[in-house]
Amino acid sequence: MAKIDKHSALIIVDVQRDFCPGGALPVPRGDEVIPILNKYIRLFKEVGASIYATRDWHPPNHASFKAYGGTWPPHCVQGSRGAEFHPSLELSRDVRIISKAQEPWQEAYSAFEGTGLRDDLKGRNIWRVFIGGLATEYCVKSTVLDALKAGFETILLEDAVMGIDAEIGDVERAVKEMMEKGAKKATLSSIIGRDDP
């Protein structure tokens, strides 16, 4: 089982108000990942491993919004309340924040797209990434696949992701694709041998 050490990083994908119940583009029960992610945050801190939190960070006229030719309702507009990290997520000042899809024409589901995340990780001698957050079949999946392409040992945190499942089976298919392309799965209890650190 993959171990958390100083060559590991936790990547928390898009745990923002707009992707949680009550937000503009909610993942059903998306907020349920938060207490689990907080446990991962504590674990990573204990061993001095790096923590990254990504955020969807769109301009008001972003191309992914329906009014501008896209498919989504407006969400995660830079500086808006909906774009804030969910207040229950325990992010401290040493968490590195990665903003993505910041230009009107730029869609980026992956946290590696146009952000410098890859070089930042490599610069810190990190080669193993543990990925959780929202939504499983969109930004989590793209981030996992890009991490694999960039050569990282990539672990999907099964108990800390949630998807939209617009078509029943979307989430299952996404997980299958990530595994087929080389990602591994882990849960809190598989990492520490119990589920309550």
User: Closest Cα to residue 28, out of 177, 166, 174?
Assistant: 166
The answer to whether residue 139 forms part of the interface with ligand VGL (CB under 6 A) is: yes
Residue 138's binding partner, choosing from Zn ion, ligand VGL, none, with beta-carbon cut-off 5 to 8 A by kind?
ligand VGL
Judged by CB under 6 A, the stretch of 132-140, 144-152, 179-187, 189-197 that binds ligand VGL is 132-140
End-to-end CA distance of the chain: 17
Residue 31's binding partner, choosing from Zn ion, ligand VGL, none, with beta-carbon cut-off 5 to 8 A by kind?
none
Long-range contacts of 18-22 (CB under 8 A, 24+ apart): 18/56, 18/75, 18/76, 18/82, 18/83, 19/56, 19/75, 19/76, 19/134, 19/135, 20/86, 20/134
The answer to whether residue 18 forms part of the interface with ligand VGL (CB under 6 A) is: no
Catalytic residue list contains 139: yes
Contact 107, 64 (CB under 8 A): yes
The answer to whether residue 14 forms part of the interface with ligand VGL (CB under 6 A) is: yes
- Helix H or strand E encompassing 155: strand 153-162
Q: What's the chain's length in residues?
A: 197
Provide the mask over 48-67, with x wherever binding to Zn ion is found by CB under 5 A and - wherever it is not.
--------x-----------
Cα 12 to its chain centre, rounded Å, is: 4
In the bound state with ligand VGL, the residue whose beta carbon lies nearer, of 4 and 62, is 62
The answer to whether residue 72 forms part of the interface with ligand VGL (CB under 6 A) is: yes
The answer to whether residue 91 forms part of the interface with ligand VGL (CB under 6 A) is: no
Judged by CB under 6 A, the stretch of 89-97, 116-124, 134-142, 148-156 that binds ligand VGL is 134-142
26 to 50, 113, 129, 146, 171: CA distances (angstroms): 28, 23, 26, 24, 15
The residue within the footprint of ligand VGL, chosen from 138, 143, 160, 188 (CB under 6 A), is 138
The answer to whether residue 68 forms part of the interface with ligand VGL (CB under 6 A) is: no
Q: Using CB under 5 A as the criterion, which residues of the chain lie in contact with Zn ion when the complex forms?
A: 56
User: Which residues contact ligand VGL by CB under 6 A?
Assistant: 14, 19, 56, 64, 72, 134-135, 138-139
